[in-house]
Structure 1
Amino acid sequence: MRVRRFVVSDVHGHLADLRSALRRRGLLDSADRWCDPDAELWVLGDLLDRGPDGVGVIDLLRGLQEQAPDRVHVLLGNHEVLAIGAARWPTGRFGRSWSINGGRVDDQAALDEERLAWLAGLPAMGRAGDFLLVHSDTTAYADWGASAPEVNARVRAELAADDEERTWAVWSKLCGRLRFTRADGAAQARAFLQTFGGRCLVHGHTIVGSLLHERSSAISGPLLYAEDQVLAIDGGRYDDGPLLVVPLD
């Protein structure tokens, strides 16, 4: 049977929107149970900050992973690294960056060691059929390896080192954006896909409205660009845009 694949990114604490969108797609029932054994969900990071209930988003997705570990996949975004850094080193540059990037006191206070360990263990890159999935539209992932397993192992090791400089370097790399919109963007995308596999790179992080130079409230779907090799799926929910749950079929 053909797998129904869906992808969403940059929920940023909008738990009610996520629930509603997953229910409309037939993935979640009224009791927050995963209800489609033939579907697959990829969440491309930035679960918390900016919006009202980031920890609620984390707990919902952790619960869905427990119910359907082979069907629900969550990737690491820059805001997960920021939350880890702010918890470990609350003063200094992590604390300042957390404050200016939409950090919420209630979210941070609820990040106990179990939740932080789950965040620190998230993979940075995934593959689903012809799709290569990441959070950020940057080629900096290649600094960590030449395959998804290499990248994921290296990023986990960097975060597990409990070293402020190394954690900051992960945060900084994942903050990169717009690499595939430049004059050589299509060539960069082609080379990236040749390295890591797949025919289409799917990312969040940079909102579709900014790529189209439009207000996020005017966005209704994802954007395919760079000679149809890159798909941007962040509708800009924190910027009054939609939370897009995009089918990859």
Structure 2
Amino acid sequence: MPQNEPAVASAVYVASDVHGHFDRFRDALREKELIDQDDRWCAGDSQLWVLGDLFDRGDAGLETLRLLRRLGTEAEAAAGTVEVLLGNHEMLLLGSHRFGTDRFQDFDGNERQFLQWWIINGGHETDAEELNADEVEWLLHRPAMALVRDTLLVHSDTVSYAEWGSDVDEVNATVRAELDSDDPQRWWQLFRELTRRHEFEGEAGVERASGILGIFGGRLIVHGHSTIPDTTGVEAEEVSEPRRYADGLVLNVDGGIYEGGPSLVVRLE
């Protein structure tokens, strides 16, 4: 390549909130030519970032996790990337695995139990029973956020991330420290903050989004967590593309797969 010709940047794709709907997610990856018909990585040095919530509601969360772990190894061998962010449903599954039926009080004095809340939120017993120690350790080390070029990737549409640090590395270190704790209250608070949503909507949303980008960098926030049908009133089966809002500062890629929407795999421009 001539020295005055810039290198072509690898493609970056994002997806979110698979929620155990493995077949539809796999089909979406094939459609984008990220994997072949044998479910092997075929996208070279491209990047795929899945923004959390692999589990619950659908029954193939573990199958999704295992696919992404293998794809991560295959992508790395081709100078690519496959990575998963920590979502609130990962927190519920990990909390159920760690604390089970233990009862405790949250910081507001309410009695809580991780296993109960995991089941309420669509948890599948087979996921908890078959999740092995290596997979638990892998999940515990997923980042909470990432800055990829000029795009800030998070699971939840919330400003809570700013409570955990003033840059991406500090946020991820804070979350990891909380998960090193034996205190279910601290785990619950982390889960609770990751469930906050809709904080970039409305008149105040633009200012909040701008503030988050000002803290962590980037020109665009990409999130899942809150489905496009939920935030727009559009019928799930009518969703065909991500939603850009808050004066273009925020992109929602959660098509609402468990509501009947698509598994969106979005290439970032």
Fold agreement, TM-score > 0.5: yes
Which residue of structure 1 aligns with residue 176 of structure 2?
Answer: 156
Which residue of structure 2 aligns with residue 82 of structure 1?
Answer: 92
Listed one character per residue, the Cα deviations across residues 31-71 of structure 1 (whole Å, up to 9, x for unaligned) are 22211113111100000111120000000011111222451
Which residue of structure 1 aligns with residue 158 of structure 2?
Answer: 138
- Consecutive unaligned residues of structure 2, counting only runs of 5 or more, are 1-7, 104-112
8 Å contact kept, 2:157–2:196: yes
Question: Pick from 19, 28, 51: which aligns with 1:44?
Answer: 51
Alignment of 1:6-155 (within 5 A): 6-69=13-76, 70-91=80-101, 92=103, 93-155=113-175
Which residue of structure 1 aligns with residue 237 of structure 2?
Answer: 217
For the pair shown, which has the larger CA radius of gyration, 1 or 2? 2
Which residue of structure 2 aligns with residue 201 of structure 1?
Answer: 221
Question: Pick from 168, 176, 198: which aligns with 2:188?
Answer: 168
Which residue of structure 1 aligns with residue 202 of structure 2?
Answer: 182
Counterparts of 2:44 and 2:201, CA distance in 1:
37
Q: Per-residue deviation at 1:163?
A: 2.0
Structure 1's consecutive aligned runs of 4 or more residues displaced over 6 angstroms after TM superposition are none
Counterparts of 1:47 and 1:72, CA distance in 2:
14
Q: Per-residue deviation at 1:182?
A: 2.9
Equivalent pairs counted in the alignment come to: 249
Listed one character per residue, the Cα deviations across residues 128-162 of structure 1 (whole Å, up to 9, x for unaligned) are 11110000000001111011110011101111223
Q: Per-residue deviation at 1:110?
A: 1.1
- Consecutive unaligned residues of structure 1, counting only runs of 5 or more, are none
Q: Per-residue deviation at 1:15?
A: 1.1
**DSSP-derived class of the 2:202 partner:** coil
Q: Which moved more, 1:157-166 or 1:99-108?
A: 157-166
Listed one character per residue, the Cα deviations across residues 73-115 of structure 1 (whole Å, up to 9, x for unaligned) are 2100000010000111111421111011000111111112111
Counterparts of 1:166 and 1:52, CA distance in 2:
28
Counterparts of 1:151 and 1:58, CA distance in 2:
23
Q: Per-residue deviation at 1:232?
A: 0.4
Q: Which moved more, 1:92-101 or 1:75-84?
A: 92-101
Does residue 229 of structure 1 match 2:249?
yes
